[in-house]
Amino acid sequence: MNTIFRIHISILFLAMVAMSGCTDADSEPGSDSTLVGNDEPSGDVDVADGAEPDVGFDAATGDAANGSATTVDVANIDAAASMPDAAAAPEQWESLDVDEAEATDMDGPLIGPDERPARVLLPDDYDGSRQLPVVFLFHGYTATSTLQDIYFGLSQRRHDRDFIAVLPDGNTDSTGQQYWNATDYCCDFYGAQPDDVGYFEALLNELREDFAVDPDRIHLLGHSNGSFLAYRLACEHGSKIASIVGLAGSGHWDGADCATDGTVSVLHIHGTNDAVILYPGVIGTYPGAREMTDRWSERNQCSGASSIESTISLDRLIWGQETTQRRYGGCPQNAEVELWTILGGTHIPSLDDSFADRVLDFSLPRTNPDAVEDP
């Protein structure tokens, strides 16, 4: 038995050495691709200037690494925009797979019109003596504010992170789905034309009248259709907004349709395998992820180039550090622009527990130098 055991150990050791040798041989200095092995990195990974990040899946197929080395061509992520007929029809939009019964700690006062109120969720120690930052959460098409909050895990952070969460709901279309009227494409599919920009402005004014709100720290967070709305509001009310964060969304196809009202810090998060709002965009319908952040870096007068500086993990079903963090250089303070690309991520990524905190880490420190003091 001892002899057999020693033989097994020797074979295992030789196999490990052979695998290590293969990995070293396949990795060529100066390659445009990144070689991914079996070991999942722990924590965030910093990437040196000019280097490509190590990520744990095949970017071409979106499949998780199966244990063998995989090359990822990060340089080709930002492809040309897709053809016009690639835009998703209403019935093709994905819905959140969460249950409203999971909602907890969501009691709060209401603001807004009786037919469409928004819930205001205050931190435990709120007493009105200090002005607090605000995070508006805009749900995606077919979702609700409650479902979106469960998915993101936003409002439960308000106690420890000391902010006010506002959860509004969109109108209901003729098919019974909630939506926001954000751009020509998304998502007033049946032509009702509600004024959701005016709705937001009225909510913000009432919020500032009734609660101790810091006017310099109004932040927007949106998913899908809600991300489209966040971009629309940043265009038209940028002087009232410190930052926006959008997952799986976009904005006006024609950049000229975006009014130039103030500077806004922007974080765009998007999966490369999003089959609803395509990562590279759709010609004549909406821009791709990289185009959106390029536009905002120009608007915010960022003077430097963009580069991938680190990788993190956001999607718990994708192996390794699958999300690249691209940052734009030379941006004025409080006008930062970042693009987080979830390599292999879908329209509704399987977000891990770090998502809400990472988003808040980007948003909450930002202030708005253009903030309007009077409602």
Does residue 275 surpass a pLDDT of 70? Answer: yes
CB 126, CB 133: distance < 8 Å: no
- Gap between the Cα atoms of 163 and 137, Å rounded: 13
**Cβ distance 142 to 177 under 8 Å?**
yes
Instruction: Name the percent of the chain in helix, strand, coil, to the closest 5.
Output: 30, 20, 50
What CATH number belongs to 84-363?
Answer: 3.40.50.1820
How far apart, in whole angstroms, are the C-alpha atoms of residue 187 and residue 137? 17
pLDDT tens for 178-220 read: 999 999 999 999 999 999 999 999 999 999 999 999 999 999 9
Q: Residue 348 and residue 360: Cα distance in Å, rounded?
A: 19
pLDDT surpassing 70 at residue 4: no
What whole-number percentage of the chain has pLDDT above 70?
A: 77
167-181 burial code (b ≥16 CB/10 A, e <16): bbbbbebeeebbbbb
Q: Which 3 state secondary structure label does DSSP give 34? A: strand
Task: Tell me the CA end-to-end span of the chain in Å, nearest whole number.
Answer: 82
Confidence of residue 79 (pLDDT cuts 50, 70, 90): low
Q: Where are the domains of the chain?
A: 84-363
Q: How many other C-beta atoms are found inside a 10 Å radius of the C-beta of residue 100? A: 11
CA-CA-CA-CA dihedral for 288, 293, 294, 295, to nearest 10? 90
- Asked if the peptide bond before residue 235 counts as cis, ω within 30 degrees of 0, the response is no
pTM over the 0.85 mark: no
Residues 6+ apart with CB under 8 A from 135: 154, 163, 164, 165, 166, 219, 220, 221, 360, 363
Residue type, 274: D
Question: Quick one: pLDDT band at residue 82, thresholds 50, 70, 90?
Answer: confident
Give tens-digit pLDDT for 20-60. 443 333 333 333 333 332 334 445 656 544 444 444 444 43
Distance CA 139, CA 147 (A): 8
* Tens of pLDDT, residues 154-186: 999 999 999 999 999 999 999 999 999 999 999
Q: Which helix (H) or strand (E) holds 286?
A: strand 286-287
